[in-house]
Structure 1
């Protein structure tokens, strides 16, 4: 049988109370280790005083850094508030000599929570669960720590009391001859939707041609100007003025003014581009429409040729090119959106500029599939548009006369027969001196009308009655007995259908010669009969 040697552990007395314990690095029992006063070390503030948190009396912000340079809004009993309070405890720092002399190391916060206090007591209490190593022995204790709230004025309120609230001002201006300020309205809405940009603005003042924005620092003002430049084309210039200076300390109070002049063009404006204009490609010496406003002005030819390319009749006008060209001398606003007139689309024929062939919409032949959107392509860019020959009439002329207009428009992909489209009526407009012959190229021909944009969801009521009168009756489900007036309506409707049938027979001839003015007498005859029917229906 093998020999076994019995192993025994030597015991030692505790150096504090004398209790017999197993040897450990501190030579103390668990009871004596628990008496190590970690709470007094945690509650000890800087210099042995109380733990203090500073708060501004006026704006109610808390001192975040402890040096009085940065004050922020903190939610009561929130996570950010707890982080600020823990930073105020010197014992939780990495280099605390008081803990090192007491033999306490590796102090960590295991858990923390707020203890409710009266809001007017100017006190805040937190309950901390701490874990530390005392002479290489790990112990854990729960300590309640109290903070005293003291008032201290923040830098922003100090400047306000000294009449030095702002250091930079941004002057946003848009100067136009008319009273239209849609460009400023768009920027105002963009600023209202962006809370991140709006938070740095101290105050806003309304001026004659724009706004004045006040900022506490120059960096915040420049960041705001960069945001404005992405929303609208503009030129900026910066000036500085010395308010006061201290020669001994080599310091000065300097206020910066940043002036932002917006390009005085708005969406749907009809402008005259002089022949000497540069930076707009083939649009020099022509009438142009403003399609969109972003960091640049997006232009399109208002009277393009049938065989023109969409990329050639579109151009971007940047702020540098506009101001370099001599402001309103090169790019002059002829008509604004206040002069737009409502037109009704009577006929539509797409130009074959992309090899897809012509698209001809026949009057009175809109089936159910064609009543929806006819375009399902890109929502932006030049590929959104297509050239088309369009025949329109003023909406106010229905039942009065049979005057119609022919034009080439870039809205070929977006229009259908019976749609309402906004445009400029050049024939009934007295043009200013900006539209003289010297401003245009020799190949430019002044159009009768210029179509600008489609009215979404709007269809002419008169056209709709002429085209789909029977379908409306079926949809409503009204079955009324035919009276004498109803019989007359049926007779007029039969005459209209007869006119439509005669027009469908020779529709191919109209399609082949419409671009050169051939076959228009047939369309005129159809329109005259249509107007007669409308006048008769209006009288009855």
Structure 2
């Protein structure tokens, strides 16, 4: 529809081109004003923004790196800040113009206004092209370079097995505590976590302290200094020592310490390690908790027997004699050493907390204190009536049946380096045995596996289903049929996002 000017409206001629226009303070048409005045003058039509191809973050000068999606509000704000001359005009609208993602070009369409003459405002639309230049951020530079970590956390435990570190690894994976690590190095006696920032190392130390009683020491090393600007570059090291008491350990303590814990017996069994150590008197079912502050104050609570000292016994009789406490019940258990089964009638009657767990014919694991070589001054000071001949720890299961079973679950693991020294053959065999003991602990203790993520092994489930029909008609005996298994409803479906980031729950774990 053609525009027909109102006949009653008074028109004037443009002083430049003579076109009839409504009256305005400039006495010129819009085209003539634009030909004379360019309000976009001084605003660059091209600019450069820096982008790190490793972490995909953009540089916001002077030294801030931001994670922005394409055509997002954050990226638009970052692009507009590159145009310093926008402060001299009024920004009306801004938006992205679509470009190929691989072109490394970002176009922004801007609409601005500015007063050019007295009471005359001109509006203009134009495009600004940004070139995305690759530049490695400082964090990625440290990751790519060698020996450029800023902070290191050294985790150690003075024990002869690695069950604690296997469990600690699962806790780190569950809570995604390794997200900021540059590298994880497996060394003798523990792990080393390298970080690009000191704050991330401090966060790891706090996480470890919330999972298990620890004590830590920090040190710093001067790398370089500038006397002109009074600035220095340091490397920080945090040495974290885990409490040397593990689940199923037999601990001994002075009577003074035992009295401070509620007059518990000096000889007790560790049932759980979380934010504190839980112990039980296997003769009376009295329980107590040992906090990290209590242990590190004197360090007089000593583990005298650990998992490598466990021996097998055959249960002959179980006689309940006392009350129950949770899953434990007091009983007099008659057992016989496995070497004596079928050869003689030598039996041992011992007071135990496993009364409602054991039955006739079961296999039980325990510490034989009569044949054990215990080197402890605190233990030597105990009276003879305080030291039993045998301490039963947990129910055992037949090895043959267990080896024939196929686990339908699996665990995830951290990407760790072996360090400078490769493990010897016997150390590697011991590590495999410790990992197998850790997997069995998970199968036997539902409370222990509540704090970690277990994933379905679909290939193992398929193989188990394929051979189940063959085993029904086979000659498999009854031995070990009660070996515990993890139900499928407790397992998670393994899911990876962005090529390897594990999907973790937000539940807090307290057991170890």
Shorter-chain TM band: 0.5 to 0.7
Secondary structure of the residue aligned to 1:175 is: coil
| 1:237 match | 217
Aligned counterpart, 1:421: 364
User: Residue 458 and residue 294 in structure 1: after superposition, are their counterparts in 2 closer, same or farther (change >3 A)?
Assistant: same
User: Given the alignment of the two structures, is residue 339 of structure 1 paired with residue 319 of structure 2, yes or no?
Assistant: no
Query: CA offsets per residue over residues 268-310 of structure 1, 9 Å max, x none?
Result: 11122222436852466622211112122211124x14xxxx4
Structure 1 residues 420, 403: closer, same or farther in 2, change over 3 A?
A: same
Kept after mapping to 2: 8 A contact 1:232/1:295: yes
Partner of 1:294: 274
Deviation of residue 233 (structure 1)? 1.4
For residues 340 and 25 of structure 1, the distance between their equivalents in structure 2, rounded to whole angstroms, comes to 100
Instruction: Find the aligned partners of 1:425 and 1:96 in 2 and give their Cα distance.
Output: 83
Aligned residue in 2 for 1:71: 65
Query: 1:395 deviation in Å?
Result: 5.3
- Preserved contact between residue 420 and residue 460 of structure 1 (Cα < 8 Å): no
Q: For residues 217 and 12 of structure 1, what CA distance do their matches in structure 2 show? A: 72
The equivalences for 1:103-114 within 5 A come to: 105=91, 107-109=92-94, 112=96, 114=98
- In the alignment, is residue 448 of structure 1 matched against residue 394 of structure 2? no
1:116 maps to 2:58: no
Pair 1:200–1:161, CA change in 2 (3 A): closer
Instruction: Output the CA distance in 2 between the equivalents of 1:259 and 1:348.
Output: 47
- The answer to whether the aligner puts 1:185 opposite 2:166 as a matched pair is yes
Q: Which has the higher contact order (CA 8 A, sep 6+)?
A: 2
| Matched residue, 1:324 | 297
Give the direction of change, closer, same or farther, for the CA distance of 1:138–1:353 in structure 2 (3 Å limit).
Answer: farther
3-state secondary structure, aligned to 1:204 = strand
Q: Give SS of 1:48's match.
A: coil
Q: Comparing both structures, which one devotes a greater share of its residues to helix?
A: 1
Give the structure-2-normalised TM-score: 0.62
1:204-259 Cα distance to aligned partner (Å, 9 max, x none): 33332222222222221111100011122111112223222222211111222211
Instruction: Specify whether residues 255 and 448 from structure 1 end up closer, same or farther in structure 2 by C-alpha distance, changes over 3 A only.
Output: same
Check the 8 A contact 2:312/2:365 in 1, yes or no: yes
C-alpha displacement at 1:99, in angstroms? 2.4
Who is 1:434 aligned against? 376
Deviations 1:482-539 (A, max 9, x none): xxxxxxxxxxxxxxxxxxxxxxxxxxxxxxxxxxxxxxxxxxxxxxxxxxxxxxxxxx
Counterpart secondary structure, 2:326: helix
**Residue 244 of structure 2: aligned partner:** 264
CA spacing shift, 1:20–1:451, aligned 2, 3 Å: same
Q: Are 1:221 and 2:201 counterparts?
A: yes
- Residues 436, 10 of structure 1: alpha-carbon distance in 2 compared, 3 angstrom cutoff: same
* Aligned CA distance change for structure 1 residues 187 and 161 (closer, same or farther; 3 Å): closer
Q: After alignment, is 432-441 or 257-266 more displaced? A: 432-441
- For these two proteins, the number of residue pairs brought into alignment is 393
* Deviating more after overlay: 245-254 vs 341-350: 341-350
Structure 1 pair 242–437 and aligned structure 2 pair: CA distance change class (3 A): closer
Note if 1:388 corresponds to 2:331.
yes
Residue pair 2:258, 2:266 contacting (<8 A) in 1 also: no
Which residue is 1:97 aligned to? Answer: 87
Q: Answer whether contact 1:156 1:165 (CA < 8 A) is retained.
A: no
- Paired residues of 1:91 and 1:99 also in contact (CA < 8 A): no
What corresponds to 1:507 in structure 2? none
Cα RMSD over matched residues? 4.7
Change (3 A) 1:78 1:352: farther
User: What are the equivalent positions in structure 2 for 1:264-283 lying under 5 Å apart?
Assistant: 264-277=244-257, 281-282=261-262
Post-superposition offset of 1:54: 0.4
Report whether the alignment pairs 1:198 with 2:178: yes
SS in structure 1 of the partner of residue 308 of structure 2: helix
CA distance in 1, matches of 2:334, 2:121: 91
* Aligned equivalents of 1:434, 1:246: Cα separation in 2: 54
- CA displacement 1:104-139 (0-9 Å, x = unmatched): x5x245x6564225x3x5x323576x7778899999
Instruction: Specify which of 95, 106, 109 is matched with residue 125 of structure 1.
Output: 106
1:406 and 2:389 aligned: no
TM-score, normalised on structure 1?
0.59
Distance in 2 (CA, whole Å) between partners of 1:26 and 1:416 is 105
Distance 1:459 1:26, change over 3 A: farther
Quickly say closer, same or farther: Cα 1:301–1:142, change in 2 above 3 A.
Answer: farther
Residues 457 and 151 (structure 1 numbering): CA distance in 2 closer, same or farther, change over 3 Å? same
* Contact 2:215-2:240 within 8 A present in 1 as well: yes
